[in-house]
Structure 1
């Protein structure tokens, strides 16, 4: 399938919206990502950078209460339009997790959540250390922070540049951000080993800027098999890395 940049010119982030729209069609993949983090999600949960709601809807379909934040107002509007009538959606908040006036603007949300998670957000932020610090402020004592980001700098390619990524991570570098913010690290793993192959070919060889919709649909079909492979590889390699920490 062709890239969809031209069809999303009305959005502030046309490349990001095209990518999220293509990933939205991969229901098995989104469900897999959701099921990977939900063992750590108990209580009041906040999603930082919910995009167009690909993971948000998984929580709501399972009748789990969720508050969603998003930097872009047009994404907030999409989430409200598509998911706003769901009884388990508490609120959709326009929030910049690295806002210079974060403490003033969002103080009413401080220490309100048992879980804060951000999937594919930190790589977009120049000051990821500050972002982790501000996520911590939103957590209750003993609350958990879950971060998923792209893994391995050698995979950085045209996709990353088009999406505005500053970097990719390894388990050690992501855990270091948690430790510098005085989190207790509870869990770390890599995620989606097979995805590295498609990312490399499409981004390095074909130099695409948007994850192709056809590629996502094909990948989605094989997710049950890919999950089995990931069981054996998640300690060592993957397209993404996940770290979970506890606020003490």
Structure 2
């Protein structure tokens, strides 16, 4: 089990203020990592960092917008100044604007794609330079089943997540020689602030469950194991992969 330990490692998690990002930040702390919590909302990211400290790990709260290269650079420099290294990056920050394709405005497209695709690239590139120089790193991109299968009212979201999945493969190919692995996870529906309103609609939930072989919504704790695996030495020969954590949804057939 020592293969799964993250003792002595430093992780940076984007979108760590709530939802999936917060759960993963705490899960990495439970596995032994010190955590840099990054998000746009200062109060939320401070609260997440405090929860990490309550678990006996060191934490740094950083407020930044991942779509800004200047803010990303400043955030990574702050993390390196505090901890001296970044071993693990979890690219989680993301948004969705749910509209039929004919109603998507240019501003909607730009906001979703910049947050879900440009942002992860800027963070991965900035942290990746440090990792490649050190000769070690684990990058995990939080994609979605929406990047692999077509979902309704999510053209910009689906396109951005498909791009993120392919970016994962290309970075894995380029950076493997430096000892850096790049993988991803593809969640389906989990209860988060982003999905809370949708999951109050009983008919919508029934449709989700009908497409999910395991017939239930995921629990955030069920994302922690896959991410700890990809962040640890247990996955030392795994790169360029996107692990679907979806209750079987992405292999569902009619």
TM-score of the superposed pair, with normalisation by structure 2 = 0.49
Of 42-51 and 176-185, deviating more is 176-185
| Contact in 2 for aligned 1:43/1:115 (Cα 8 Å) | no
| Contact in 2 for aligned 1:117/1:145 (Cα 8 Å) | yes
2:127 is equivalent to residue 135 of structure 1: yes
| Contact in 1 for aligned 2:40/2:65 (Cα 8 Å) | yes
2:171 is equivalent to residue 177 of structure 1: yes
For residue 187 of structure 1, report the CA deviation from its aligned partner. 5.1
2:244 is equivalent to residue 238 of structure 1: yes
Q: Distance in 2 between matches of 1:178 and 1:48?
A: 19
1:79-118 equivalent positions in 2, closer than 5 A? 79-102=48-71, 105-106=74-75, 107-110=77-80, 112-118=84-90
1:202-217 equivalent positions in 2, closer than 5 A? 215-216=217-218
2:13 counterpart (32, 48, 51): 48
**Structure 1 or 2: more strand by fraction:** 1
Secondary structure of the structure 2 residue equivalent to 1:215: coil
Secondary structure of the structure 1 residue equivalent to 2:89: strand
1:157 corresponding residue in structure 2: 151
For residue 94 of structure 1, report the CA deviation from its aligned partner. 1.6
For residue 43 of structure 1, report the CA deviation from its aligned partner. 3.2
For residue 79 of structure 1, report the CA deviation from its aligned partner. 0.8
Structure with higher RCO (Cα < 8 A, 6+ apart):
1
**Structure 1 or 2: more helix by fraction:** 2
Secondary structure of the structure 2 residue equivalent to 1:101: helix
1:144 corresponding residue in structure 2: 137
Secondary structure of the structure 2 residue equivalent to 1:113: coil
Secondary structure of the structure 1 residue equivalent to 2:134: strand
* CA pair 66-103 structure 1, distance change in 2 beyond 3 A: closer
Count residues in correspondence: 181
State the Cα RMSD in Å: 4.8
Secondary structure of the structure 2 residue equivalent to 1:96: coil
In structure 2, runs of 5+ residues without a counterpart are 95-112, 191-197, 210-215, 226-240, 247-254
